[in-house]
Amino acid sequence: MYEIKENFALKKYNTFGIDVKTRFFVVCKSEKEITDFITIQQNTTLPLMILGGGSNVLFADDFKGYILKPDIKGVDIVKETESEVTVRAGAGEDWDEFVAYCVEHGWGGVENLSLIPGNLGTCPIQNIGAYGVEVKDVITEVETIEIDTQKKYVFTNYQCKFGYRDSIFKRKLKGKHLISHVTFRLNKQPEFKLEYGNLKEALGSFEDITLKNIRKAVIAIREAKLPDPDEIGNAGSFFKNPVVTQEKLKKLQQKYSDIPFYPLTDNKVKIPAGWLIEKSGWKGKRKGNVGVHHKQALVLVNYGDATGEEILHLAKNIQQTIIIQFDIELEMEVNVV
């Protein structure tokens, strides 16, 4: 049975380490506990928020309602062939422990997504991605509970409407469904994806290319660049990499011949926001309790006792600079509550 805690401190439940409170906090360990709890919560007037690993959220203030943390565990094989394995996992599993488990079993597909903080259940919401892989590449189904009706749903990959750091759960269904399980199709004869950035280079120091070594290399790159949230509060990339037209890129190239970009379809390109922020002089800057990480400009950090408002203020200043200097609007990647 779940326990409802009152005036609960959230500092340990968000990787930014913002010291806010929620009026009520509850951890549910099964679908039944979740539906039982929601039935009761719906008789109140207070709002409900679902919180995963807290690695992509910025609390600007105390939360004056109920926070529900789904903690459904379990990783089960639902289908296995010579070449593939289909695995269903509970939303409360830790994402990186799941990746380690897959790598350990020789199942390929998620190794490039090593060391991403957060819970497994939130991976489809923003379609987590790194080093040339997005989780949508391996998700077959997402199981949810609709909050208003407590009805269970199964979304196919197509129905999730995945995009770059995007899905139906961030748009039309935002706040309407709770993810209980995710099913993945993994490859027992994996094809390695090594084209992104310096991944191949980082693998150079290993004798051969295996899932385990790719995981080690990704971890090494991330540890070298990204701050550990246990040491310095942060939520990974704070902004999305902006997408602009080829014409816009050409204009920018006249002034900045070294601007990096990744070509997309539809005459569009993606520009690393980290480059824009670094070029504008913000990288490594600190203002009181908050700052821009000195090794990766896309990451905003809490040096100690920052409030959500301070982080937001910094983010807005950066957005303004980027508009003035490059005429590009940076969209926040984290959810502001």
- Using CB under 6 A as the binding rule, whether residue 333 contacts ligand EPU is answered as yes
Tokens of 274: 């980290």
First to last CA, the chain: 28
Please report, for residues 33, 129, 159, 167, 195, the alpha-carbon distance to residue 172 in angstroms, rounded to integers and kept in the order given: 26, 21, 12, 9, 33
Active site residue 6: no
Binding pattern for the stretch 112-151 against ligand EPU, x by CB under 6 A and - elsewhere: ------------------xx--------------------
C-alpha torsion sign, points 239, 244, 248, 252? positive
Q: How far is the CB of 190 from ligand EPU (least distance, A)?
A: 18
Active site residue 205: no
Residue 59 binds ligand EPU (CB under 6 A): no
Nearest-approach distance from CB 104 to ligand EPU, in angstroms: 22
Give the torsion through C-alpha atoms of 194, 195, 199, 201, to 10 deg: 110
In three-state secondary structure terms, 155 is strand
Dihedral sign from CA coordinates of 49, 32, 139, 117:
positive
Write the CB contacts of 141 (distance below 8 Å, at least 6 apart in sequence): 88, 154, 155, 156, 157, 182, 183
Closest approach of ligand EPU to the CB of residue 76, in Å = 28
* Complex with ligand EPU: residue 176 or 225, whichever CB lies closer: 225
State how far the Cα of 12 lies from the Cα of 20, in Å rounded to an integer.
10
* Residues in contact with ligand EPU, shown as a per-residue x/- string from 260 to 299 under the rule CB under 6 A: x-----------x-xx--x----x------------xxx-
Task: Please identify which residue in the block is written with the tokens 């070449």.
Answer: 83
Question: Which of residues 148 and 195 has its CB atom nearest to ligand EPU in the complex?
Answer: 195
User: Should residue 236 be labelled a site residue for ligand EPU when binding is judged by CB under 6 A?
Assistant: yes
Q: Which is nearer to ligand EPU, 28 or 113 (CB)?
A: 113
User: Residue 79 and residue 156: Cα distance in Å, rounded?
Assistant: 16
In the complex with ligand EPU, which residue's Cβ is closer, 76 or 228? 228
Cβ proximity to ligand EPU, 53 vs 274, nearer residue: 274
Exactly one of 55, 114, 167, 237 is catalytic; name it: 237
What does the binding site for ligand EPU look like in residue numbers (CB under 6 A)? 130-131, 196-197, 225, 236-237, 240-241, 260, 272, 274-275, 278, 283, 296-298, 333
Q: Which residue numbers are catalytic? A: 165, 237, 333
